[in-house]
Amino acid sequence: MTDQTYPALATANRNTSPTNASVKTQRLANQIMLFAIALVVTIVFAFPIYFMVSSSFKAENEVLASPVHIIPEDFQGIAQFQKAFETVPLGRYFFNSFLTAGIDVVVTVFFSALAGFGFAKYDFRGRRIFFFFILTTMTIPFQVLLVPLFIEVRSFGWDDSYAGLIVPGIMNAFGVFMMRQFAYGIPDELMDAARIDGASEFRIFWRIVFPLLAPASASLSIIIFLWSWNNFLWPLIVIKNQDLAPIQVGITAFTQAHSAEPQWAVAMAVSTLATLPVAFLFIFFQRYFIEGMTMGGVKG
Amino acid sequence: MAVRTVKGSSYIARRQYWGLAFVLPTVIFFAIFFLFPILSGIYYSFTDFTLLKPPVFVGLQNYQDLLKDRLFLKSISVTLGFVAGTTIPAWILSLAAAVLFFQKFKGREILKVFFFAPVLPSLIVVAIVWKILLHPSGVLTTVLRPLTGAGEINWLDNPALSPISMIIITNWTIIPFYMLIWLAGLTGIPTDLREAALVDGANRLQSFLRVELPLLRPTAVFIAAISTINAFQGFTLQYAISPGKGGPIDVNTTMSLLVWKYGFQFYRMGDASAVSMVLFAMIMIVIAVQLWLTRQNQY
């Protein structure tokens, strides 16, 4: 095939001659069919989330109505949300979750950038072995750490405390790995220019490198927030005091509700609230959200 | 790095120690909160250890006991079943969804956003929502009634159905997520490659199977690996909605759940550590296979 026929054929293949009406109809039919399939698939996947949100406005006996009420018939307004705050210390739960996730994000992003920069741009003794060490911690499932980490934290006197809840999660190997990849891309000349101006190495990091890592920091912040916010297993075992429990643990009061009247609508209201911060991040920072998640490979 | 003569090489050599200073906080953190616990976990797995008294070294006793422990042996098959049910279907269906959302059609972007919604809630929230959807006379039963004709289905209490329910829920929450990773891979394929295949007379399916899928191999291995590793760690759903945390009759007691049960329900820390080490070894095998497969890919 010669060079001349190639582009002609390619256009013929894609842009099938606009004069041909039957081909046009065919393409429209294709479009409609694709949309229809995608719509059905999307409804199947999005329905449980819609059910969660809509049920938080339903009356208790309406949640399990069969067939399901797509739109709440006995609309409750924010009554179930108010009830949720009365039933459990929801404000505390949210405060604890925001506190944990906030500290996790700030500390992880700072130290990941610092270490990632150190690994990418300096050549010191032990660089390879230290990096390999941090990388291997990524392969360790948390279940393996569960027992010994709990015993260690307990020996510090940190069980059932904010320190025990927060400190083991303030650094993240994935963050170091990710920041190192991005730090490689920073030109050495920028750093050298600053050195000639007499800037210290830390100042170079703080004033030049860290701002340049902002897009990576944004993705990392979101993924760390997500992991921290959705974390369940560690707070489950380290926290006994309900006043220190994050929302994901606090919410379990509703999963094991063996009481005479299970409060499904209230549970849905709490679930909706607990998902709101993540949904907010997804809607407003979609690009960073998706980039962070795709790189991280673990759903929170 | 260019040789700097201005201040001499000793300055450059000294400067490198800043790098060490930058990585040291992280290294120390991981030594305290990863290396030390891992090593003590290995040690605990060889001890008789309840929280009430200090660990006593018992050699291989815990591991030998596990071989006769029916709950442990059952947890292996429960875990493998959960792995099988949440890897292969998720891999195929997420690829199918990615191919669908890779096509150009009106409304694609907005549908994609809603399709992604199951990824947002935590697994605990997922568990609560599905506990209602899977109520014996709940939504899923109603939707399937034309097919099954059943008035009530005990999704969670029936020992045969319960593990399948866990698998359905997990697939629901991970497929949109893996779809996104596939989509990133598909978008990365240069369009001229696809067009060249079409020009050479390949049909859409041939072009996909012969040109695109081989190029997606790194993505394919990545998704296979992370879905397997995540499945081996299955805990939250089983903890939160299976009756009696792992029931009925332990059909949902995964190895991760067993670590929690032995450690934090029965305070048998030695046994819990031994179970976690077996789980660790199994996950290491998966990672080794993944590394081997990606290495194969590099020539």
Q: pLDDT by residue for chain A (300 residues), tens digit each?
A: 334 434 444 444 454 455 577 888 888 888 888 999 999 999 999 999 999 999 889 888 888 777 778 888 888 788 888 888 888 888 999 999 999 999 999 999 999 999 999 999 999 888 999 999 998 888 888 889 999 999 999 999 998 999 999 999 899 889 999 999 999 889 988 888 888 888 888 999 998 899 999 989 998 999 999 999 999 999 999 998 888 999 999 888 776 655 556 788 888 999 999 999 999 998 888 888 888 877 766 554
Set of chain A residues whose Cβ sits within 8 Å of the Cβ of B132: 51, 55, 63-64, 264, 267-268
Do A72 and A102 lie in one domain? The reply is no
Set of chain B residues whose Cβ sits within 8 Å of the Cβ of A42: 111, 114-115
Do A23 and A143 lie in one domain? The reply is no
Provide the pLDDT for residue A62. Answer: 81
Do A100 and A15 lie in one domain? The reply is no
Do A247 and A105 lie in one domain? The reply is yes
Among chain A residues, the shortest Cα distance to B98 is held by A38
Residue in A237, A251, A299 closest to B174 by CB: A299
Do A255 and A283 lie in one domain? The reply is yes
Only one residue has tokens 């927060």, namely: A166
**Is A46 near chain B, with CB under 8 Å?**
yes
For chain A positions 71-110, those within 8 Å of chain B (CB to CB) are none
**Is A279 near chain B, with CB under 8 Å?**
yes
Q: Do B123 and A274 touch (CB under 8 A)?
A: no
Residue in A118, A268, A290 closest to B22 by CB: A118
Q: Do B142 and A66 touch (CB under 8 A)?
A: yes
Three-state SS string across chain B, please? CCCCCCCCHHHHHHHHHHHHHHHHHHHHHHHHHHHHHHHHHHHHCCEEEECCEEEEECCCHHHHHHHHCHHHHHHHHHHHHHHHHHHHHHHHHHHHHHHHHHCCCCCHHHHHHHHCHHHCCCHHHHHHHHHHHCCCCCHHHHHHHHHHCCCCCCCCCCCCCHHHHHHHHHHHHHHHHHHHHHHHHHHCCCHHHHHHHHHCCCCHHHHHHHHHHHHCHHHHHHHHHHHHHHHHCCCHHHHHHCCCCCCCCCCCCCHHHHHHHHHHHCCCHHHHHHHHHHHHHHHHHHHHHHHHHHHHCCC
CATH number at residue A101: 1.10.3720.10
- Closest CA relative to residue B269, chosen from B33, B55, B36: B55
Rounded to 10°, the helix B123-133/A264-284 angle is 130
Q: Do A275 and B120 touch (CB under 8 A)?
A: yes
Third-level CATH fold of B62-296: MetI-like fold (1.10.3720)
* Distance of alpha carbon B107 from alpha carbon B98, whole angstroms: 15
Statement: the pTM of the whole predicted model exceeds 0.80: yes
* Distance of alpha carbon A93 from alpha carbon A243, whole angstroms: 7
Contact call for residues A249 and A57 (beta carbons, < 8 A): no
Do A120 and A164 lie in one domain? The reply is yes
Do A290 and A184 lie in one domain? The reply is yes
Angle at B118 between CA A34 and CA A79, to 5 degrees: 120
Residue in B17, B176, B241 closest to A124 by CB: B17
SS3 label, residue A99: helix
Set of chain B residues whose Cβ sits within 8 Å of the Cβ of A143: 233, 235, 255-256, 259-260, 276, 279
Q: Do A299 and B15 touch (CB under 8 A)?
A: no
Of A80, A96, A128, the residue at which a domain comes to its end is A80
The dihedral over CA atoms of B41, A148, B29, A102, expressed in degrees to the nearest 10, equals: 140
Residue A285 corresponds to which amino acid?
F
- Which regions in chain B score pLDDT beneath 70? 1-9, 296-299
**Is B27 near chain A, with CB under 8 Å?**
yes
Residue in A130, A188, A254 closest to B128 by CB: A254
Kindly state the tokens that stand for A284.
Answer: 């407003």
Task: Give me the number of domains chain A comprises.
Answer: 2
Do A234 and A140 lie in one domain? The reply is yes
Do A100 and A228 lie in one domain? The reply is yes
For residue range B67-107, what is the model confidence (pLDDT) as tens digits? Answer: 998 999 999 999 999 999 999 999 999 999 999 998 888 88
The residue extents of the domains of chain B are 9-44, 62-296
Q: Do A35 and B277 touch (CB under 8 A)?
A: no
Q: Which domain holds residue A22?
A: 5-80
For chain B positions 166-195, those within 8 Å of chain A (CB to CB) are 172-177, 180-181, 184, 195
Alpha-carbon distance B191 to nearest alpha carbon in chain A (angstroms): 12
**Is A132 near chain B, with CB under 8 Å?**
no
Q: Do A282 and B120 touch (CB under 8 A)?
A: yes
Do A71 and A102 lie in one domain? The reply is no
Do A121 and A23 lie in one domain? The reply is no
- Within 10 angstroms of residue B64's Cβ, the number of other Cβ atoms is 12
Only one residue has tokens 């700072």, namely: A110
Q: Do A52 and B226 touch (CB under 8 A)?
A: no
Do A166 and A252 lie in one domain? The reply is yes
Among chain B residues, the shortest Cα distance to A50 is held by B117
For chain A positions 164-203, those within 8 Å of chain B (CB to CB) are 167-168, 170-171, 173, 176, 188, 192, 196, 201-202
Of A80, A103, A133, the residue at which a domain comes to its end is A80
For residue range B243-267, what is the model confidence (pLDDT) as tens digits? Answer: 878 878 888 999 999 999 999 988 8
Determine which helix (DSSP H) or strand (DSSP E) holds A227, and give its type and residue range. helix A214-230
* Distance of alpha carbon A98 from alpha carbon B134, whole angstroms: 31
Residue in B2, B34, B129 closest to A48 by CB: B129
Of A80, A111, A144, the residue at which a domain comes to its end is A80
Residue in B21, B27, B229 closest to A134 by CB: B27
- Mean pLDDT, chain B, as a whole number? 86
Best residue in A9, A42, A134 to probe B by mutation, most B CBs within 10 Å?
A42
What is the ipTM metric for this complex? 0.85
